[in-house]
Structure 1
Amino acid sequence: MDLAALRKRLDRIPIVGHLLSEFVRIEFIDRCMLIAAQGLLALVPMLVVVAAFFPRLTDDALQELTSVTGLGSTGSSTVTSDLQPDQVRNQTGLVGAAITLFSATSFARAMERMYERVWQQPHIGGLSGTRRCFMWLIGWLLILQVLAALRSVLHGGSLVTDVFGLGVEMVMMSAIWWGTSWVLLFGRVGWLRLTTGAVLAGAVTVIYTHLSGLLMPAYVSANARQFGTLGIILSLSTWLIGLAAVLVGSALVGRVVTEDPTVLAMLRTVRGWVDVRGPRRPEGPPRRRPAGRS
């Protein structure tokens, strides 16, 4: 079977054919690699600068990073052992620290371009776009730290608490990506249309981070023994590629599902069924009032 015949068959399946064409349109692999590369360039220098200028926050920052990425204690110990705060402070300075924080918005700009590409919106750059990306990046990092801190509280060790904590994490993460997509799209796409992609991103992201906590430590340990700090960076880049695939795929699937004619027809059917059954309820009171007056 040739490629053209296979594509014709896939086009007959609801959503699948449209989804495949959309993956090609947005250049899925290139988009994931760009987000992962910008995330690596943004997060690692920012972590080094924060650890150098705020030594008391070094351990907390590394713990938050390893908690979110699932890198384990090996990444924290390796980075800490190779980090020289005095040298970083002397070579960076306050101006360099500000430039590092400002350049970290490249990750936010990559996310903005991804959402704009998925939803086919024109790019908003300049001072307005940079300012919004910077504010989103700061808020996103703070919220992720709060979520990572709550993770230890939500998971108490029993099955019930773990399942409850997992559900709370999914809800919170869905809210984070829901707000993220709306903010980075500058409100040009409605909240309701962004819901499916945000819920999908939130659920899959939580599952991805928990699985990373189980699988990544052994991978990081092997890379750390072989390459040292470079191995930690390679492990982090691998994790970021997976995270980018989750985010790009969720946003794209969310749009395709939301705009698919089959799904829209089902929603119209359900809405019509509700509208038909709904008006029957208030018919009772108007009939009782004439009887009371007579």
Structure 2
Amino acid sequence: MRADRESGSPADGGKSGWRGRAADLKARLLRLRSTAEERFPVITRLTAHLIAVNLLDSATRLAAQAFLTAVPLLFLVASIAPQSMRNQIIDSVHDLFGIHGAADHELKKVYQANPASLQQSTGAVSALMVLLSATACSRAMQRLCQRAWHMPSAGARVAAWRWPVWLAVWLVVVVLQGPLREGFGAGLWLGVPLLLILEVAVWWWTQHLLLAARLPWMPLLPGAVLTGVAMTALSVIAKFYVPAALNRSLDRYGSLGAVFTVLSWLIGLCVVVALCITVGAVFAREPAVARRLGSPAWPNSPEK
């Protein structure tokens, strides 16, 4: 028994040592968290706000609605737009994503097809249904902005006309992507700054429009700048990722593979958009920044 006690003592001492070190580490981490919360309260508010906004859920819904909007609009625009506009859309998609090979062939099949045959397959009733359902993407973006700013939903009479206007402006932005990225012939040295300015301006206007002008312009600027910078950077990254991923998916799985690739990229984009708008809203409501921008105070209870 003496030998057993002697042999067991080192093991018991080792376990006690590990437990003591684990307890010390836990205590240090708790003290570190408390110190960070005291010195940087914005971190605590941002974390709580991201949880309240339900970032991934909002971004996934927005991506799904964007995809369901983009595909029908793709055929609708191809059926009614003049050939010059369709060629411009092809050039813009080339410049934006750098697609080639099988993906480029599928795009040209739609936008270089006979407009008469597309119009017969689309029809007036189908076009109306596409336009009505496309506003679901606008509504999803509106809900994201309202959650980010803890604002209640705007009335239907106030918000309804804003949904198609938002879609129409974004269609124009997509059409202008090609010449804008090339600096209208001057090159990327001018095109990238112009694209950044456009992205910031459009996301600034997006928040103001979809929030039904219930907030002044200045508090919306931080979110617009963050989103504009992030989307400009992602548009550059897209040329290195999207073409190879699309062609690989088309070769292996056909059109279904392309659907998953596009949807995955859209989810990534929407996560970035949701994160930037939410971070911008939190930052704009920090006391030091809010005094300069005229931001509203935090509500007593967040919107559920």
Superposition TM-score, scaled by structure 2 size: 0.76
**Aligned pair partner of 2:73 in 46, 65, 70:** 46
Q: Any idea what the Cα deviations from partners look like across 1:17-55, whole Å, max 9, x if unmatched?
A: 211111100000001101100000001110012223447
CA RMSD of aligned residues (A): 2.7
**C-alpha separation between the residues in 2 aligned to 1:222 and 1:253?**
35
Do the aligned partners of 1:79 and 1:229 also contact (CA within 8 Å) in 2?
A: no
Q: Which runs of 5+ in 1 are unaligned?
A: 269-294
**C-alpha separation between the residues in 2 aligned to 1:87 and 1:71?**
28
**Aligned pair partner of 2:130 in 89, 97, 100:** 100
**C-alpha separation between the residues in 2 aligned to 1:95 and 1:240?**
28
1:172 aligns with 2:202: no
Structure 1 pair 54/163, CA: closer, same or farther in 2 (3 Å)? closer
Do the aligned partners of 1:7 and 1:17 also contact (CA within 8 Å) in 2?
A: no
**Aligned pair partner of 2:104 in 73, 76, 84:** 76
Structure 1 pair 81/169, CA: closer, same or farther in 2 (3 Å)? closer
Equivalent AA in structure 2 for residue 249 of structure 1: L
Match of 2:170 in 1: 140
**C-alpha separation between the residues in 1 aligned to 2:184 and 2:118?**
36
**C-alpha separation between the residues in 2 aligned to 1:82 and 1:190?**
42
Do the aligned partners of 2:180 and 2:191 also contact (CA within 8 Å) in 1?
A: no
Aligned residues: 261
**C-alpha separation between the residues in 1 aligned to 2:237 and 2:288?**
34
**C-alpha separation between the residues in 2 aligned to 1:30 and 1:109?**
15
Structure 1 pair 81/228, CA: closer, same or farther in 2 (3 Å)? farther
Match of 1:64 in 2: 92
Match of 1:200 in 2: 226
Aligned pairs for 1:127-276 within 5 A: 127-153=157-183, 156=186, 162-261=188-287, 263=289
* SS at 1:124 equivalent: coil
**Aligned pair partner of 1:21 in 39, 43, 48:** 48
Match of 1:271 in 2: none
Equivalent AA in structure 2 for residue 148 of structure 1: G
Equivalent AA in structure 1 for residue 141 of structure 2: M
Equivalent AA in structure 2 for residue 51 of structure 1: A
Match of 1:280 in 2: none
How far apart are residue 132 of structure 1 and its match?
1.1
Larger Cα Rg: Structure 1 or Structure 2? 2
Structure 1 pair 263/53, CA: closer, same or farther in 2 (3 Å)? closer
Superposition TM-score, scaled by structure 1 size: 0.79
**Aligned pair partner of 2:151 in 100, 117, 121:** 121
Structure 1 pair 62/230, CA: closer, same or farther in 2 (3 Å)? farther
* SS at 1:72 equivalent: coil
* SS at 2:119 equivalent: helix
* SS at 1:15 equivalent: helix
Q: Which runs of 5+ in 2 are unaligned?
A: 1-25, 294-304
Q: Which moved more, 1:25-34 or 1:244-253?
A: 244-253
Do the aligned partners of 1:201 and 1:246 also contact (CA within 8 Å) in 2?
A: yes
**Aligned pair partner of 2:120 in 90, 94, 116:** 90
Equivalent AA in structure 1 for residue 269 of structure 2: L
How far apart are residue 199 of structure 1 and its match?
0.9
Structure 1 pair 93/118, CA: closer, same or farther in 2 (3 Å)? same
Q: Any idea what the Cα deviations from partners look like across 1:135-165, whole Å, max 9, x if unmatched?
A: 11101211332243221235745xxxx3443
Equivalent AA in structure 2 for residue 30 of structure 1: D
Structure 1 pair 77/250, CA: closer, same or farther in 2 (3 Å)? same
Q: Any idea what the Cα deviations from partners look like across 1:45-86, whole Å, max 9, x if unmatched?
A: 100122234472444334434544x26134331244478766
**C-alpha separation between the residues in 2 aligned to 1:125 and 1:264?**
27
**C-alpha separation between the residues in 1 aligned to 2:190 and 2:41?**
34
